[in-house]
Structure 1
Amino acid sequence: MSLPEWAVGIRSALDNKMGLELIEVGPRRTRGRVPIEGNTQPFGLWHGGASCVVAETLASLSAYAEVGPQGRAFGVDINATHHRPGTSGWVHGEATALHIGGRLGSWEVVLTDDTGERICTARVTCALVRPRS
């Protein structure tokens, strides 16, 4: 596990509801996983909205890792393509930086099932509010 000190135990009410587990947090890459059970649509399949929540959470944590504890970061755009349904087990997410600039950063987030099959690909753009010197 590779979590910076500030990320150890960081939780939101939505993270708790979804059962998000962080594995690694950094500006260039952030990884986590979420159980499919409890995060499905009425027909028992992984919910596409859950994919968007996980994608934005992982990208936003990467953005926060970039600006540091005195900065702020938040999502301003998300695009998600749902490739296949998830039915059981876990959804694994990895946010990888595509570009980190002065005020904006973009991350590709790939969500896979336990077998490594891609469930969703998302692109998330975050505002980067760096601390004043």
Structure 2
Amino acid sequence: MSETVDNEFITMIRAGAGAGFGGGIGMEYLEITPDRVVVSVAVGPHLLQPYGIVHGGVYCAIAEEVASVAGAVWLGGEGKVVGVNNSTDFLRAVTEGTLTATGTPVHRGRTQQLWRVEITGDDGRTAAVGQVRLANLQ
């Protein structure tokens, strides 16, 4: 869809980064392009489940936000995106440090998109992998 990056849209995303769920968990945008979005999240007690590891829902939510932002940037001003499926696998427990999530496209079409989001810990090892399907709303 969008061959050029809409800098106004990216500025809006960055300006609102401290609000909403992403802001609540401390999500920081490191890179935003139509082909890749990278965020980091510092692991703190608010993200842990009772066993002291990052809650699985946190990984799902990070994957959803990264894919949604990436899909919206790619779609540009041609509509909006909404998540219609999120399948996230948890591969390794993380108890501290920083999570880094990188979203890349698997498929981008007229009516839907599919994004893969890999979430790693400080050691670079994959902690979770999400696949998020988005519907393009015109």
TM-score (norm 2): 0.87
1:8, distance to aligned residue in structure 2 (A): 2.1
Stretch deviating more after TM superposition (26-35 or 87-96): 26-35
Q: Gapped runs of 5+ residues in structure 2? A: 1-6
Where does 1:1-133 land on structure 2 (aligned, <5 Å)? 4-11=10-17, 12-37=19-44, 38-69=46-77, 71-130=79-138
Distance 1:13 1:81 in 2: 24
1:16, distance to aligned residue in structure 2 (A): 1.8
Stretch deviating more after TM superposition (60-69 or 76-85): 60-69
Runs of 4 or more above 3 Å deviation: none
1:5, distance to aligned residue in structure 2 (A): 2.3
User: Helix, strand or coil for the counterpart of 2:33?
Assistant: coil
Distance 2:68 2:34 in 1: 9
1:35, distance to aligned residue in structure 2 (A): 1.4
Distance 1:5 1:70 in 2: 17
Stretch deviating more after TM superposition (106-115 or 36-45): 36-45
Amino acid paired to 1:60? S
Amino acid paired to 2:131? R
Distance 1:10 1:102 in 2: 27
User: Helix, strand or coil for the counterpart of 1:25?
Assistant: strand
Q: Gapped runs of 5+ residues in structure 1? A: none
Amino acid paired to 1:20? M
TM-score (norm 1): 0.90
User: Helix, strand or coil for the counterpart of 1:32?
Assistant: strand
